[in-house]
Structure 1
Amino acid sequence: MMKHKVIFMPHANIQYSQLPPSRREWVIENCYRKLFDLVDRNGFRMAFEASGRTVDEICATNPKVMDELTALIKNEQIEPVASPYTHFMVSNVPSSMCVHSLKRSLDAWERATGFRPSVGWNPECSWSSDVIRIYKDAGLGSLVMDADSLLMSFSEIRKRTGLKYDVVSHSNKNKLFIIEDCLDEWPEYLKFLVRVSKAENGLQMLFRSDCMANILLWYLMGVSEEEGKEPVSAEEVAELFIRWKNRLDRYARSHPDSEPLFIMPYAEDAEYIGSTAYFYVKHFNQARFFEPAPESVQRFEKIVKSAQEAGFELALPEDVSREGNHMENPYIEQIDDGVAWHGGTARAWLNTDYALLLDPACESIYSGVEKLMALTGQNWNRMDCQMEKAVNALESAWVSDSRWPPAPCSPGRFNVEEAVTDLKQANGCLKSFMEKHQLMNRRSYYSPMIMETQIRLTESRLMSMHYFGE
C-alpha cells in the first residue's frame, strides 16, 4: 500500500484587513520568516501561497526572507503557489482583470525566485463558472479548491449540516465540522477530498476542507471556542490525523487503482503562524489585530509532526498532480454561483457598506479602460505603459480587504484609504492616456473630470464612517 500524502499550504496576504502598512514588515519577519525557518530546520515539505503584491513587498522590505524562501523552493521543500497580484475576490471582478492579475503575480514570483508557479489559489475560494477558465487562461495547471463548497452543492449534505447561504453572513465555519460525519455516512463523497479532480478544460483541482482546518486553527491559537471549554489539545490534533489515515486506508482498500491519496488539512492564513492575525475579530468581534503569538509557531510544528507520526508523507501539490490517478469531476458546475469558503458567500463582499461605494467607482473606471483600449487598438495582452499603470491601480483598488468585514466589524480606515488612493491614480493615468493619444475631445467614452468628482464623493462618504477599533 502506497504511503498517503499530506499537503500543508499556508497562504500569505500582506494587504490583510486591519494590518497597517507600518506593521507589514513585522508580519514578514515574525510570521513568514518563522515559518520558513521551521521548514528548513525540520526538513519539512509544503506549499506556500502568496499574492504577487506580497511577494514584491517581501523583496522590498526584507530581501533576506525572500532569499530563504527561494533556497527552500530550489531544495524542493516549498512549492510556490500563486493567486492574483492583488488579493481580490475573483468571482466579483471582471475576468479579463483576473487573468491579467494572475499573470502579473506569476511574473512577480518568477522575478523574485526564478520559479513560475504552476498551482493557483483562489482568494477566499470565491466561486463563479468563470473561475476554472480564468486560472487555465492564466497558464496555471492546477487550482486549490474548497471542498466544502462542492460538498454543500449536494442536497443531502447541505440538509444534514443545516447551513443556508446568506449574502450578509460572515461565515458558517462551525457548521462545517459536520461534513466529516457526512463522509463517514456517505463514503462515496470522500473521493473529492483525497484524489485529484480534473475539470473539463484539463485544469487539475486539489480540495481543502474546514472540517480539518478549523480544528487546527483553534489549536494554533490556543484558546477555547466557548467559555468553560478546554482549548483544542495536541492529543486531539494527533487523533485527527490518525482518524484520517484510517479513513484513507479504508478507501484505498476498496479503490486499489486510485492511489496516491492525499489530504490538505491546512490551507489557511500564514499569518496565524506567529501572530493572532484576524482571529479575535472573526470569532469574538474584538478589536485585537496581529498580536504576537510565538507559541503558534511551535504548535504548527507539532501539527506537521503529528501528521508524520500518523503515517502521512509530507508532499507538494506537484507530487500528487504528477503521480495522481486523476478523476473527471462533472460536479464542478453545480457549485453555487457566488459562494466562498467557510460556508459563506463571495457576494457578502459585494454587500458591505464599503463595497457598495467602492465597486461602482471601480466598475466605471473599468468601463473606461475597455472603451479606451478599443479606441486605440489595444487589449489586455497588449497595452502601453500609461494604460498598464491605470489597470494596475484599478486592480489594487479592487482589493477585498478594503471591503471586509461587515458590521459590527469593519476593515481598517487605512485599508479603505489605500483603495481610494488607487482609484485616484487609475483615473489620473487614464487622463494622461487620453492626452497622450489625443482623445480629450472624445470624453463621451470616458470623462476623467466627472470620474474625479465621483471618487471625491466616494471618499467623503467612506471617511465619514466609523471604523472598528477606533
Structure 2
Amino acid sequence: MKYLNIFHANLNYAYLTPESYEFVIRHSYEMMFDTMAEHFPGVKYVFEASGFTIEQMAERTPDVLAKLNAAIADGSCEFMGSPYAHPMLPNFPEEDGLWTLRFSNDIYQQHLGFQPRSFWNPECGWRSYVPKMVHDAGYANLIGDFEAYSRSLKSDGTPQRPEIYEAEHSNEAAFYNFAFRYDLPGSEPAIHFPFNQLQGLEKDQLRMLLRSDRIAQHGVRYFMGMDGYTLESYLELIRKYSSQSEGESEGAMIVFADDAEYVGTNGWFRLKYENRPDNVFEHTPKSREKLIDLVAACLEMGEFITFDEACATLPAIEEPITFDDDSAWHGAFASTWANTPMARILRPWQDLVREKLNASEDLTESTERQAWYHLTNSYNSDGQWPPTLPESPHIVHPYNYQYCFDNLLEAEKLVGGVDHSRLETDAKNTLNEILSLQQNLVLKKAEAAMTSGIANQNTSAQQAKQLIESSRDISFRLDSGHQIRPDTYAQLAAALTEARQLVGGIEIERSEEAVN
C-alpha cells in the first residue's frame, strides 16, 4: 500500500488573528518542512494552502516560503491549491467561486511559479457545479470525502452505497457525524483508488481521491495527544484499511488530510474538547516527534506518494461518483456554514453588491476585478463561524468577522454603493442571537458565585455581572439596524469574553465527537 499525508494550511482560520500568523507558520508549517527535509529527505507529502495563506507567508516569513519552494523543487512536496480566502464554494454562485480560484492561482504563479494540479475543496462542501468550477480553473485532481460519498444518492435517486447509507445516512443538520455504524472492510476500493467519472464532467476531465474521517480524524486526535489515540492505535487503523483484495493492483490511502495547524499547534482542540476558548493555536512541542514516529512507521509498511501521483498513476474506478447537493465532510451540511447568524446578516448585503457588480457597465476591468476580489473575500467561512446554538453557544471572533465586513464594504464602495433600504436584516437581533446564550450562562454562574461567601469569588462575580450588562447594551442604532459594525461587535464580544474568564469559564461545546 502507498500512503499520503495532506496538510491543509489556512491562516483565515477562526480565532486566528494576524499577530499569531508568524507563530503558526513557524511552529506548524516550517516545523513540517524542516522535519521532513531533515529526517525523511525525498519522502513525499502534500502541502495545501490558500492564496491568502501563501501571500501572508511571502510577506511575513519569506524564509519559510523559500523552504516550501525548495521542497516542491526537489519533488518531495506536492503543493495543492484551494480558493483564495477559504470560502465554502457550494454556498455561493459558480461565477463567484471561479473568481476566488483565479485569485489563488494568480498568487501561486507569483510566489510558487506554477498552477497546482490538485485542488482542496474547503470542508469538501458540494454542489453539482463544484467539479466543473474546479476543472474550469485548470485543475486535474480533486479531493473528496468518503463519508459524504457513501451517504449520498446516485443521480437516479437510489443510494450510492446502500449498505452504508442504510446504517449512517441522516437528515439531521448536525455539525459532525462520526458515528461510523457500518463496519467498513479494510479492502474498500473507494479509499484506495481514484474515481475518473465525476458529476457533470466527461471521463478523466477531473479525477478524485477520497479521504475518510475513519482514518483522518484519528490522526488529528493522535497529534493532540487525546486519551486512547496513540501511535499504536493509529497504526492499527492504518493497517486495517491497508488491506487489498487478492489480485488487485496496489492502491493508496490517505493517512492524514486535515488542518496543518493541528501539527505544531493545538488549533481549536482545547476549545472543542476542553471548553477552553482562550487556549487556541498554542505550541504543541510533541508534534515534531509524533510526525517523525508516524512517517517512520508508515514507511515500514509502504511508500508515500503525492496526490497527483495517486490520481494519475493508480487504476481508476470507472463507475460515476456523485454527492448530494449541500453535503460536506464530517457528516455535515454545507449550508450549516451559510446559516450562522453572521452569515445570515452578511449574505443579503453580499447579494446586493453582486447584483450591482453584474449590472454595472461602466466599471474598468481593474475596478471590476478588485470588486470581485473583495466580494469573494467576504465569503471567508471562518469569518462567519461558528454557529451559536444551545448545545454550542459559541461567538464569532471579532477579527474574523471584521475581515469579512471590511472586504464587503470595500466591494460595495468599488461598485458605487447599494441600496441598504432593501435589506431586511437586523443587527440588534443578530447581536442578541450571537451573544445572549453565553451571556445567560456567564450571568447564571456569576450570580451563583455571588452567594458563595468567598470574597475573591464575590468580587470577580460582581465584575462579571457588570460586564454582562455592558455587553447587552445594544440599544443604539447600527447602520440603520442592517449591519454590525466590527468596532461595536468587538467591544461587546470583549466584555463578554472578560466576564466569562472572571467566572472561570462556561461550557461552550457539549459535543463529544467534534473537531473543527
What is the aligned counterpart of 2:257 among 251, 267, 286?
267
Distance 1:425 1:448 in 2: 15
Residue in structure 1 matched with residue 340 of structure 2 by the alignment = 352
Q: Deviations over 1:349-378 (max 9, x none)?
A: 111111111111111111111111xx34x8
Superposition pairs of residues 181-200 of structure 1, within 5 angstroms: 181-183=183-185, 190-198=188-196, 199=198, 200=201
Q: Could you say if the C-alpha distance between residues 306 and 460 of structure 1 is closer, same or farther in structure 2, counting changes exceeding 3 Å?
A: same
Residue in structure 2 matched with residue 158 of structure 1 by the alignment = 165
SS at match of 1:328: coil
SS at match of 2:36: helix
Code of the aligned partner of 1:193: I
User: Aligned-pair distance for 1:134?
Assistant: 0.7
Listed as ranges, the gaps of 5+ residues in structure 2 are 153-160, 426-477, 499-516
CA contact (8 A) 2:348 2:423 kept: no
Superposition pairs of residues 452-463 of structure 1, within 5 angstroms: 456=479, 457-460=482-485, 463=489
Q: Could you say if the C-alpha distance between residues 422 and 453 of structure 1 is closer, same or farther in structure 2, counting changes exceeding 3 Å?
A: farther
Residue in structure 2 matched with residue 339 of structure 1 by the alignment = 327
Q: Could you say if the C-alpha distance between residues 65 and 453 of structure 1 is closer, same or farther in structure 2, counting changes exceeding 3 Å?
A: farther
For normalisation by structure 2, the TM-score amounts to 0.77
SS at match of 1:18: coil
Distance 2:171 2:383 in 1: 23
Code of the aligned partner of 1:119: S
Code of the aligned partner of 1:171: Y
Residue in structure 2 matched with residue 20 of structure 1 by the alignment = 17
CA contact (8 A) 1:48 1:80 kept: yes
CA contact (8 A) 2:117 2:138 kept: yes
Matched, 1:426 2:408: no
User: Aligned-pair distance for 1:460?
Assistant: 4.4
User: Aligned-pair distance for 1:49?
Assistant: 0.5
CA contact (8 A) 2:118 2:140 kept: yes
Residue in structure 2 matched with residue 385 of structure 1 by the alignment = 366
Paired residues in the alignment total 421
CA contact (8 A) 2:99 2:373 kept: no
Residue in structure 1 matched with residue 354 of structure 2 by the alignment = 366
Q: Could you say if the C-alpha distance between residues 300 and 323 of structure 1 is closer, same or farther in structure 2, counting changes exceeding 3 Å?
A: same
Q: Could you say if the C-alpha distance between residues 240 and 142 of structure 1 is closer, same or farther in structure 2, counting changes exceeding 3 Å?
A: same
For normalisation by structure 1, the TM-score amounts to 0.84
SS at match of 2:119: strand
Q: Could you say if the C-alpha distance between residues 322 and 232 of structure 1 is closer, same or farther in structure 2, counting changes exceeding 3 Å?
A: same
SS at match of 1:459: coil
Residue in structure 2 matched with residue 295 of structure 1 by the alignment = 286
* Bigger Rg over Cα: 2
Code of the aligned partner of 1:328: E
Q: Could you say if the C-alpha distance between residues 222 and 447 of structure 1 is closer, same or farther in structure 2, counting changes exceeding 3 Å?
A: closer
Q: Deviations over 1:288-323 (max 9, x none)?
A: 2111112122212222222112x2211011222231
Q: Deviations over 1:113-140 (max 9, x none)?
A: 2232010010010011111111011110
Matched, 1:325 2:308: no
Code of the aligned partner of 1:371: A
Code of the aligned partner of 1:16: Y
User: Aligned-pair distance for 1:451?
Assistant: 8.3
What is the aligned counterpart of 2:380 among 399, 414, 434?
399
CA contact (8 A) 2:71 2:77 kept: yes
Percent pairwise identity: 27
Q: Deviations over 1:402-450 (max 9, x none)?
A: 111112123311111121111111111112xxxxxxxxxxxxxx73676
CA contact (8 A) 2:238 2:255 kept: no
Q: Deviations over 1:144-202 (max 9, x none)?
A: 111110012234313323x52433x22123x14x45x2335xx6xx2211111112432
User: Aligned-pair distance for 1:12?
Assistant: 0.5
Residue in structure 2 matched with residue 76 of structure 1 by the alignment = 75
Residue in structure 1 matched with residue 241 of structure 2 by the alignment = 244
Residue in structure 2 matched with residue 281 of structure 1 by the alignment = 271
Matched, 1:412 2:388: no
CA contact (8 A) 1:165 1:343 kept: no
User: Aligned-pair distance for 1:284?
Assistant: 4.0
Distance 1:166 1:283 in 2: 22
Distance 2:343 2:64 in 1: 34
CA contact (8 A) 1:149 1:341 kept: yes
User: Aligned-pair distance for 1:275?
Assistant: 0.4
Code of the aligned partner of 1:402: G
CA contact (8 A) 1:165 1:345 kept: no
Q: Deviations over 1:197-217 (max 9, x none)?
A: 112432100110000011111
What is the aligned counterpart of 1:171 among 165, 173, 176?
176
Listed as ranges, the gaps of 5+ residues in structure 1 are 225-230, 432-445
Q: CA RMSD in A?
A: 2.3
User: Aligned-pair distance for 1:254?
Assistant: 4.1
Distance 2:84 2:485 in 1: 28
CA contact (8 A) 1:10 1:270 kept: yes
CA contact (8 A) 2:99 2:376 kept: no
What is the aligned counterpart of 2:297 among 303, 306, 322?
306
Q: Deviations over 1:313-358 (max 9, x none)?
A: 11011222231222223231xx221111011111111111111111
Code of the aligned partner of 2:84: Y
Distance 2:184 2:240 in 1: 14
